[in-house]
Structure 1
């Protein structure tokens, strides 16, 4: 169960840190590419950086914020290697085309896979990998 004002009531939600002050841009990209709905948007006191956004995509929660190097060691924050955000959808082709049209870069082409899904991977403009899967078309 989700409380629109406070985020997920339980479970695991991805929380992305966006580099270069592009958090609000990321929200707009996820809305366009993945049909995200934003439930909460808080700017930092500087009025320039996104402190927190809570989105829902395909029934799941995604949280994100701009990078705040002053609150950690000051080094560059990078998307972690080996992390893929997965979207399981009824129509992988439509979801795929929407993401690519929005500016996602193809990493692994969308194709029929041996396990029964159409599946592929894209990279968003912020360096995060997303996989998209859905049933094969008959």
Structure 2
């Protein structure tokens, strides 16, 4: 793996507001913000201004955020996933296979429009793992 697991927070439509709050608290910066409306796939119009993905950084503090894509109510405590940045297709496949064996696949391992191979799996203990391998350009 490239580095330590990265926290990923999910919000009910107020990720932008939360990012503004974290900027005030930590004096950090929001980087790589993309809305659902800017994504390269169909989304309902009411999702256009919601945050699909953003990163927050202040020195060594780093985390990612998004708004929930569905109408599901995100519950505090279940709104956090850990992102593993893998270093190869073999590595991401290995972790995916191991996690899905006893876990619940939330998103199949697949190539994405953002240039990565990605999967989301909830393990038997309720921890959600986002597996990501960014392909070389």
State the TM-score bracket (shorter-chain normalisation).
Answer: 0.3 to 0.5
| TM-score under structure 2 length normalisation | 0.45
Give 1 or 2: higher helix fraction: 2
| Greater RCO (Cα-Cα under 8 Å, separation 6 or more) | 2
Structure with max Cα Rg: 1
